[in-house]
Structure 1
Amino acid sequence: MKNLGDAIGKFAYKVDDPEEFFYQKADELDSWEKQLKRLHSSLLNLVSGDNDLANAEAGLARSVLLLANVEENTGLAQALHHLAETEGHVADLHALQAEAHTCHLVEYSRELLGMVQACKDVLSERVRIYRTWKTAEANLRSKREQKIRMEMAPRNDNKKMATITMELEDLENRVDQAQHKFNNISINIKREFQNFDLNRFAYFKQATTEYLELLLQIQLKVLENWEKYLSYTNGIN
């Protein structure tokens, strides 16, 4: 029912709103929100997978260390100690990788979702102001028609006519204020959307670049640890 109501509201908005720009932006934000929610969910799964991997490696390191402590062959015991140490370092690095996913990508997607929701809220506020303006115009037309009928009546009630005249002035002021408010929020929203469209890509580029640089450093350290262990095992007679 909520989706049906939203669809009906959007249809009415599209028919009444003189500027197609805002309706297009509303659709664009809906699409962005769906994609970002999928991205956020996938990133959370990625973080969970990295944490599981780090925990499994840490458990493996402890198990190998236990084997090393009971191994009677000195050379094999030392090799197992080095393997346990390497697995422990790699586990720490994968835990750091999970943290990198969280800090650079999960938080980024969460912040973008917040920005999208804020934009949708602003568009909803504009629709509310627009409807207030149109309602005020409808009330003004109705009141003017009422005044015309009174003026055409055989006998005029001067007191009622004065009251309607005052009410008309009040309604005219309300229409002017609502229209002014609507025009202002439309201008401000357009300006903010331009900034949002420019900054979101720059922000995405920065977050992705920082993440990839950190991920590269982590993978190089993982490789360094395994190369160090391989160098040790190659020296075993």
Structure 2
Amino acid sequence: QPVFVISVDDPQKVGDPIRGYTMYTVHTRTTSPMFQKSAFSVLRRYSDFLWLYETLSANNPGVVVPPVPDKNPFGRFDDQFVKQRRFALEKCIQKIANHPLLGKDADLKIFLESDTFALDIKHRKAELAHERGGIMASIGQAVAGPRFYETDEWFDRQKVYLDSLESQLRGLAKAIDAVAKQRSELAAATGEFSQSVGDLSASDIGKGLSHSLSGLADVERMAQEIQSTQSEQDLTTIMGTVDEYARLINSVRMAFSSRIRIYHAWKQSESDLIRVKQSHEKNRAQGRIATDRLSYSLSQIAEAEKRAAESKHEFEHVSKLVKSELARFEQERVSDFKDSLHAFLEGMIERQKQLINAWEGYQQML
């Protein structure tokens, strides 16, 4: 499995306030032989990441494609929002590149290394439209076919589990957001207190008391910075992971839906096979098939049988793929939450140590 190390850095605002957007620099280092170089960088905007996600999802039925962060028309240039989006985009592209199937996808290659990206995706969109107008059209038409009845209880159990997990994640996200807001409000109040104490220390209250109050103001300013930093860390560690997996659940559901589309395509091909066979038998019974056309009619049946067999095989393959993808989802979920909790606790402990040292230093000064 080739290794990818990808970072999304240096967000820069481009354009006017109305139609402006943020451009990111995507740095890639890889051992994959697909690429001309082992290290390269390109400029990409949010809509480019979105194109990659939508294209990979459409072209890889059964695969759980790591999703990009949601659109947000309001406050999209706020510093905190840009930081969170940059972090989410980086995690998204890293997971896509290091996925055993998606890491080999030609569209990922275009995204990561093309210097003529706008032109390349224009051509790519035309190719995909042509494909979907042909082979893929049968899948799209099949969606409107007979209702799908699940025959594998595993999928029904997983749907119930995903609904429950999504509800739990929403509750956790709400709680984390409340804690982060409370820390932010406490930081603001601490800052006001620090300012008031600092102003008092500057007044004519005596050198000794002035020095003591000035030291208190310094410690409170440090406490304000620590609380503000912790509020941001709440959102970029645990909240970032919660948000990512809430979005990933939708990607899992899309993988489930792609399986149903493949099923309908399979049933459509079986219906086509029955129709071709019936037409052949009817024409043969009525003597409408000339001797020189018999081989052609039989070849039509053989082709329909081949399509039906391939469609059935595709459905079985996608069903197995979805199961393996959900197992990957579970494994990565446990690992990612452990990592985010570890980062959260490490940061929390380090900042509390800094604050304790500041208070101890102030106590010794007194």
TM-score (norm: length of structure 1): 0.79
Q: How far apart are 1:163 and its partner, in Å?
A: 7.1
CA-to-aligned-CA distance 1:30-86 (integer Å, 9 cap, x gap): 322232233223323322222222122122211211111114233322222111111
1:27 aligns with 2:160: yes
Contact 2:283–2:289 at 8 Å: present in 1 too? no
Q: Give the Cα–Cα distance (whole angstroms) in 2 for the partners of residues 207 and 85 of structure 1.
A: 31
Q: Which amino acid aligns with 1:54?
A: A
Q: How far apart are 1:119 and its partner, in Å?
A: 1.9
Q: Give the Cα–Cα distance (whole angstroms) in 1 for the partners of residues 311 and 204 of structure 2.
A: 84
Q: Give the Cα–Cα distance (whole angstroms) in 2 for the partners of residues 26 and 143 of structure 1.
A: 37
1:108 aligns with 2:264: no
Q: Give the Cα–Cα distance (whole angstroms) in 1 for the partners of residues 156 and 277 of structure 2.
A: 32
1:84 aligns with 2:217: yes
Q: How far apart are 1:211 and its partner, in Å?
A: 1.2
1:127 to 260, 282, 288: 260
Larger-Rg structure: 1
1:227 aligns with 2:326: no
SS of residue paired to 1:158: coil
Matches within 5 A, 1:136-215: 136-151=269-284, 155-158=286-289, 165-215=298-348
Q: Name structure 1 gaps, 5 residues minimum.
A: 1-8
Per the alignment, residue 66 of structure 1 pairs with 199
Q: Give the Cα–Cα distance (whole angstroms) in 2 for the partners of residues 221 and 45 of structure 1.
A: 25
Q: How far apart are 1:99 and its partner, in Å?
A: 2.5
Contact 1:147–1:161 at 8 Å: present in 2 too? no
Structure with greater helix percent: 1
SS of residue paired to 2:202: helix
Q: How far apart are 1:150 and its partner, in Å?
A: 4.7
Which structure has the higher relative contact order (CA within 8 Å, separation 6+)? Answer: 1
Structure with greater strand percent: 2
Q: How far apart are 1:195 and its partner, in Å?
A: 2.2
Q: How far apart are 1:144 and its partner, in Å?
A: 3.3
Per the alignment, residue 184 of structure 2 pairs with 51
- The 10-residue stretch of structure 1 (54-63 or 79-88) with the greater mean CA deviation from structure 2: 54-63
Contact 2:238–2:337 at 8 Å: present in 1 too? no
Q: Name structure 2 gaps, 5 residues minimum.
A: 1-143
Q: Give the Cα–Cα distance (whole angstroms) in 2 for the partners of residues 139 and 26 of structure 1.
A: 31
Q: Give the Cα–Cα distance (whole angstroms) in 2 for the partners of residues 29 and 71 of structure 1.
A: 65
User: Sequence identity, in percent?
Assistant: 23
Q: Give the Cα–Cα distance (whole angstroms) in 2 for the partners of residues 24 and 174 of structure 1.
A: 31
Q: How far apart are 1:133 and its partner, in Å?
A: 0.7
TM-score (norm: length of structure 2): 0.53
Contact 1:69–1:77 at 8 Å: present in 2 too? yes
Two-structure CA RMSD over aligned residues (Å): 2.6
